[in-house]
């Protein structure tokens, strides 16, 4: 049986139209999306379900696995080796659509409907541009397909409706409903500014509410893994986050659904990717390191409170620092409009158009005119092309056509900003090994030329021209110097390390010496300086083991051979023997003993 909102959307499920459905969380938007997907599948057409997260894609893959259609998920988890798409229902992330819509993709022309879940992610500074460009390219390739937007937060839905009409010429219906089986009751609490005091205030509030509602289930949302571990440890409750294995996450979710556990700490992955409602939701803070958490993220977390069919009210407790309180209060009451993020990524996309699609200026101008950014902003294509020519990301051939240089091709292939890459390449041209110069090279880029406050918990402060540059340079320098991460550094360094492979690959394509870049990658991955490169390159020796050996005066393979007994005592006999054998016979194939742990060596202080 459809609810009132779903009855309204059902009127259009067989109509050749676009639809924007703006409806509160827990109102049943997914079922409305299914109405359009399944009507196309029943008509013998393909259908695409587009989502912003792999976790959400995986949830839908599981939910729809018994449908009488062939289903395929296209994410980095499911489709690392692309093969021809012959399935009926294709589940994709927004980045996958951007990548897979390039070139002549005949299968896209047989799609009858594309459903874009959480479509307000167009507004995301880090991901919205890929969604926008991918959807524009798809619509230009296949204007016959219907476009369906689902979201709880699209304040300017009518404006987006006009954009969708511009994309494929179809009439676009906008359904803006207040139908809400669950209402949310917000409680705002202001904690103290100091990090230690703020965490204490958050724990006190959580414990107070748990005592008041002992029989209710609760989700505690945090914005960093480090803070999640702290709260989980203090309260003695499970922590659900992306680095757990799939089985571990499933076990926590299952126990919560079966009410074997009453409270979970979680990152935003649980808010977006898993349907796990609770009676009460806590949101601890509104910052992720020095950066504001987007209001859409906070709203999504709040939406996990309340149980459809079991209660009509979901309670949300948001604790913020004094400087965040008003921003969060006002933002929750009135979400900001959806604004295109394309202008901020224009240089990358123009490089990509030229390098990967052989577009020239008239084609680029036509494409940009069809984007949301082209409707909301005055975008100066000529000036952008001149700028890219100046920075040697593109060149003009003898025939007058534009083509990408190695720099531009690197940016396009690795999804990085070409101007940022220009400055990185220049800073690393002399192949510096100093942790200070390497940290500055990765931080001194235009996209980080943003004023922001510099936290007081940095071990080393490397002064740069802008706050965001200072924060990255300082945290990366401490990491390369072998210091233990804490506070802000735990937020900044891990994602940088994960993303560094992409930057290193781009720098290699752009012409930086590959042997040097391999060393830089080792230093960044292991958090070490150049003196430890020789030993961290050995299988089985990572940051901690290398630090143990360095503390014993061992930083080279030669020293390891000369002091074999000390190495064996430090690393464990099995691992030490394996590594020594590898040094003596570099061509030998060995399996590192991952379970071996560094032992405390006589003379070391116990910590």
Whether 188 and 272 share a structural domain: yes
CATH of the domain at 19: 3.40.50.300
CATH of the domain at 399: 1.10.10.10
Cα dihedral 74/80/84/87 (nearest 10): -30
- The pLDDT value given to residue 599: 43
Q: Per the structure block, which two tokens stand in for 429? A: 């041209």
Q: Per the structure block, which two tokens stand in for 578? A: 């394996």
Band of pLDDT at residue 600, cut at 50, 70 and 90:
very low
Whether 243 and 305 share a structural domain: yes
260: domain range?
183-333
Is the separation of the CB atoms in 24 and 3 below 8 Å? Answer: no
* 533 assigned to some structural domain: no
> pLDDT higher for 331 or 514?
514
The beta-strand segments (E) located in 117-262 are 146-151, 172-176, 183-190, 218-221, 239-240
Query: CB atoms < 10 A from the CB of 323, how many?
Result: 12
Whether 319 and 216 share a structural domain: yes
* 313 assigned to some structural domain: yes
* 167 assigned to some structural domain: yes
Query: CA–CA separation, 541 vs 538, rounded Å?
Result: 6
Dihedral sign from CA coordinates of 176, 179, 181, 183:
positive
* 547 assigned to some structural domain: yes
- What are the DSSP calls for 247-303, one per residue? HHHHHHHHHHHTTS-SEEEE-HHHHHH----BSEEEEE-SEETTEEPPHHHHHHHHT
Whether 63 and 134 share a structural domain: yes
Is the separation of the CB atoms in 204 and 284 below 8 Å? Answer: no
By DSSP bridging, strand 263-266 and strand 218-221 are parallel
Query: CA–CA separation, 440 vs 477, rounded Å?
Result: 8
Band of pLDDT at residue 18, cut at 50, 70 and 90:
very high
Q: pLDDT over 90 for what percent of the chain?
A: 72
Whether 132 and 249 share a structural domain: no
Answer yes or no: is pLDDT of 149 > 50.
yes
* Angle between helical axes of 467-480 and 514-526 (0-180°, round to 10): 90
Whether 303 and 365 share a structural domain: no
Which residues, other chains included, contact 431 with Cβ-Cβ below 8 Å and sequence gap of 6+?
513, 516
Answer yes or no: is pLDDT of 243 > 50.
yes
Q: Per the structure block, which two tokens stand in for 581? A: 């054998």
Q: Helix-strand-coil percent breakdown of the chain, rounded to 5?
A: 50, 15, 35
Whether 519 and 550 share a structural domain: no
H-helix segments, 118-194: 128-141, 157-168
- Terminal Cα-to-Cα distance of the chain (whole angstroms): 63
* 245 assigned to some structural domain: yes
Query: CA–CA separation, 561 vs 579, rounded Å?
Result: 10
Band of pLDDT at residue 596, cut at 50, 70 and 90:
very low
The residue among 527, 558, 574 that closes a domain is 527
**Torsion angles phi and psi, residue 562, rounded to 5:** -70, -25
Query: CA–CA separation, 501 vs 598, rounded Å?
Result: 27
Answer yes or no: is pLDDT of 594 > 70.
no
**Average pLDDT of every residue of the chain:** 91
Q: What pTM, to 2 d.p., does this model score?
A: 0.88
The residue among 129, 155, 176 that closes a domain is 176
* 535 assigned to some structural domain: no
Is the separation of the CB atoms in 338 and 129 below 8 Å? Answer: no
Is the separation of the CB atoms in 508 and 466 below 8 Å? Answer: no
Candidate ranges 94-98, 136-140, 307-311, 593-597; pick with highest mean pLDDT: 136-140
Whether 425 and 374 share a structural domain: no
* 411 assigned to some structural domain: no
> Residues 329-359: pLDDT tens digits?
998 888 889 999 999 999 999 999 999 999 9
For the stretch 442-451, contacts whose Cβ atoms lie closer than 8 Å and that sit 24 or more positions apart, written own/partner, are: 442/472, 442/473, 442/476, 442/496, 442/503, 443/469, 443/470, 443/472, 443/473, 443/476, 444/469, 444/473, 445/417, 445/419, 445/420, 445/469, 446/417, 446/419, 446/420, 447/417, 447/419, 447/420, 448/472
Q: Give the containing element (helix H, strand E) for 436.
A: helix 435-443
Query: CA–CA separation, 536 vs 528, rounded Å?
Result: 9
* 410 assigned to some structural domain: no
> Residues 578-592: pLDDT tens digits?
999 989 988 766 555
CA distances from 368 to 121, 130, 273, 275, 365 (A): 19, 13, 31, 36, 5
What letter would DSSP give residue 396? E
Nearest to 567 by CA among 592, 594, 546: 546
Whether 12 and 118 share a structural domain: yes
- The pLDDT value given to residue 306: 83
The beta-strand segments (E) located in 321-408 are 394-396, 402-404
Segment 242-247 shows an average pLDDT of 84
Segment 384-410 shows an average pLDDT of 97
What letter would DSSP give residue 240? E
Whether 393 and 424 share a structural domain: no
Q: How many domains does the chain have?
A: 5
- What are the DSSP calls for 541-577, one per residue? --HHHHHHHHHTT--SHHHHHHTHHHHHHHH-HHHHH
Candidate ranges 248-257, 296-305, 351-360, 597-606; pick with highest mean pLDDT: 351-360
Segment 410-424 shows an average pLDDT of 97
Query: CB atoms < 10 A from the CB of 400, how many?
Result: 8
Q: pLDDT over 70 for what percent of the chain?
A: 94
Whether 98 and 125 share a structural domain: yes
Whether 289 and 378 share a structural domain: no
């Amino acid at each position: 049986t459809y609810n009132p909102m779903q009855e309204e959307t059902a009127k259009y499920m067989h109509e050749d139209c676009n639809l924007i459905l703006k409806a509160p969380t827990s109102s049943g938007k997914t079922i409305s999306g299914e109405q359009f997907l399944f009507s196309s599948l029943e008509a013998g057409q393909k259908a695409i379900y587009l989502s912003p997260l792999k976790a959400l894609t995986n949830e839908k893959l599981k939910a729809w696995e018994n449908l009488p259609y062939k289903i395929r998920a296209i994410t980095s988890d499911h489709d690392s080796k692309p093969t021809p798409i012959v399935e009926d229902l294709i589940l994709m992330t927004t980045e996958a659509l951007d990548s897979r819509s390039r070139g002549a993709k005949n299968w896209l022309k047989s799609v009858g409907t594309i459903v874009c879940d959480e479509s307000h992610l167009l507004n995301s500074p880090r991901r919205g541009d890929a969604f926008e460009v991918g959807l524009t390219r798809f619509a230009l390739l296949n204007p016959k397909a219907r476009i369906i937007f689902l979201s709880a937060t699209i304040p300017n839905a009518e404006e987006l409706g006009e954009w969708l009409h511009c994309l494929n010429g179809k009439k676009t219906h906008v359904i803006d409903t207040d139908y809400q089986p669950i209402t949310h009751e917000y409680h705002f609490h202001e904690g103290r500014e100091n990090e230690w005091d703020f965490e204490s205030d958050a724990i006190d509030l959580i414990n107070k509410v748990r005592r008041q509602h002992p029989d209710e289930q609760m989700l505690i949302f945090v914005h960093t893994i480090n803070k999640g571990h702290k709260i989980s440890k203090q309260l003695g409750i499970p922590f659900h986050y992306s680095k757990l294995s799939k089985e571990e996450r499933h076990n926590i979710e299952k126990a919560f659904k079966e009410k074997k556990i009453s409270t979970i700490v979680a990152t935003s992955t649980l808010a977006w990717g898993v349907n796990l409602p609770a009676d009460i939701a806590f949101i601890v803070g509104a910052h992720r390191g020095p950066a504001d958490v987007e209001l859409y993220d906070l709203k999504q977390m709040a939406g996990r409170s309340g149980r459809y069919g079991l209660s009509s009210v979901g309670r949300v407790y948001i604790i913020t620092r004094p400087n965040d309180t008003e921003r969060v209060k006002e933002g929750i009451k009135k979400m900001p409009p959806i604004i295109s993020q394309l202008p901020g990524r224009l240089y990358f996309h123009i490089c990509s158009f030229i390098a990967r699609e052989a577009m020239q200026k008239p084609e680029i101008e036509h494409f940009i005119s069809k984007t949301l950014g082209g409707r909301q902003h005055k975008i100066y294509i000529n000036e952008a092309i001149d700028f890219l020519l100046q920075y040697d990301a593109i060149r003009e051939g003898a025939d007058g056509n534009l083509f990408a240089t190695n720099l531009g091709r690197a940016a396009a292939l690795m999804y990085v900003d070409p101007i940022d890459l220009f400055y990185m390449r220049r800073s690393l041209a002399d192949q510096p090994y100093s942790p200070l110069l390497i940290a500055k090279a990765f931080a001194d880029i235009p996209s980080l030329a943003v004023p922001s406050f510099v936290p007081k918990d940095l071990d080393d402060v490397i002064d740069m021209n802008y706050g965001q540059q200072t924060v990255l340079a300082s945290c990366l320098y401490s990491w390369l110097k072998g210091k233990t991460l804490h506070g802000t550094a735990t937020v900044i360094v891990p994602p940088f390390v994960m993303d560094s492979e992409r930057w290193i690959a781009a720098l290699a394509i752009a012409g930086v010496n590959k042997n040097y870049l391999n060393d830089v990658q080792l230093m960044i991955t292991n958090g070490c300086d150049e003196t430890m490169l020789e030993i961290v390159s050995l299988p089985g020796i990572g940051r901690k083991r290398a630090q143990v050996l360095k503390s014993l005066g061992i930083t080279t393979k030669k020293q390891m051979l000369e002091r074999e007994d000390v190495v064996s005592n430090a690393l464990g006999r099995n691992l030490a023997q394996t590594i020594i054998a590898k040094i003596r016979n570099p061509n030998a194939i060995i399996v590192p003993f991952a379970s071996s742990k560094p032992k405390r060596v006589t003379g070391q202080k116990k910590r």
